[in-house]
Amino acid sequence: MSRIKSHMAVLEGYFKAKAFEDDKCTYSFEKENKIVLGTGRLISRLLAAKTQDWTPTSNDFGITKFMLFGIDPTVTSPDCSSQMLIGEYEEYYSSLDPVSLTEIDSTSFPCLKDADTIAVETVPVNDCASLIMPGSGLATMSSDVDANYIDICMRVGPGWVIPGQVKYYGMASLVGKSPDPNSIIEYILAMEQFPVMTKSDNATFKFSWEVYI
């Protein structure tokens, strides 16, 4: 974290993740944000609109997506089944500083399993407390905005998994778009790795990503 904070100190905060089975919390994780290097030049373009003039129904720019990446335990080089349990991919990924979403793939991140990735894109309200649990196979995102922080919160409902099977997740990313109407690039603002979360058919996830400017 020291390497990243010294290079990029304008974004701080905490990433929090929880998993629930039958309304009982079975997993809890909290860690300081890992801010992607090189995103400093994007902050004014991507965050200003959300912090200074929030539009609840607009997802054209600003923080527009939360990505939860599936992990493939069958990959043996690197040993994903071992690494995903401790949530520390620095051994393989420390030199990678993705700027756009297209740079995150199974070549640069061999443990990722694209078919298991969940993208949360809808920003329905500006109130995390009112973000209800989504229905089966659905996910929702909201945000609380103040003068110097954005608290992005996500919920992933039941489903996403064939009954009787289990999927594994161990990496999350916060994505934003420029207000430039001619730009289609989805920028990576922050990423977090965490010990693998398992998702069965009835498991639900809750995430909170605090971003202090």
- Supply the pTM of this predicted model: 0.81
Q: What is the pLDDT of residues 102-122, one digit of tens each?
A: 988 888 888 888 888 999 876
Write out the E strands in the chain: 14-21, 24-32, 34-35, 62-71, 112-120, 139-145, 149-156, 167-177, 186-199, 204-212
**Cα Rg, the chain, nearest whole Å:** 16
- Report CA torsion sign: 31, 168, 128, 61: positive
Higher pLDDT among residues 123 and 9, named by residue: 123
Q: Report CA dihedral (35, 192, 140, 27) to the nearest 10 degrees.
A: -140
Give me the residue spans of the domains in the chain.
2-212
Name the residue type at position 86.
Answer: I
Task: Give the list of residues 6+ apart from residue 9 with CB closer than 8 angstroms, or none.
Answer: none
**Strand order from edge to edge, sheet including 167-177:** 34-35, 186-199, 167-177, 62-71, 112-120
Q: What is the pLDDT of residues 29-51, one digit of tens each?
A: 998 776 665 555 555 555 544 44
- Residue 127 is predicted with a pLDDT of 79
Higher pLDDT among residues 131 and 172, named by residue: 172
Residue 28: band (very low, low, confident or very high) from pLDDT cuts 50, 70, 90: very high
Mean pLDDT across 8-23: 77
- Residue 1 is predicted with a pLDDT of 33
Task: Give the list of residues 6+ apart from residue 192 with CB closer than 8 angstroms, or none.
Answer: 15, 31, 33, 34, 171, 172, 173, 209
Maximum separation of any 2 CA atoms in the chain, in Å? 47
Output 127-135 pairs: Cβ under 8 A, ≥24 positions apart. Answer: 128/153, 128/208, 131/155, 133/157, 133/204
Q: How far apart are CA 99 and CA 8, in angstroms?
A: 14
Q: How far apart are CA 152 and CA 211, in angstroms?
A: 8
Q: What is the pLDDT of residues 143-188, one digit of tens each?
A: 787 766 778 889 999 999 988 889 999 889 888 877 677 888 888 8
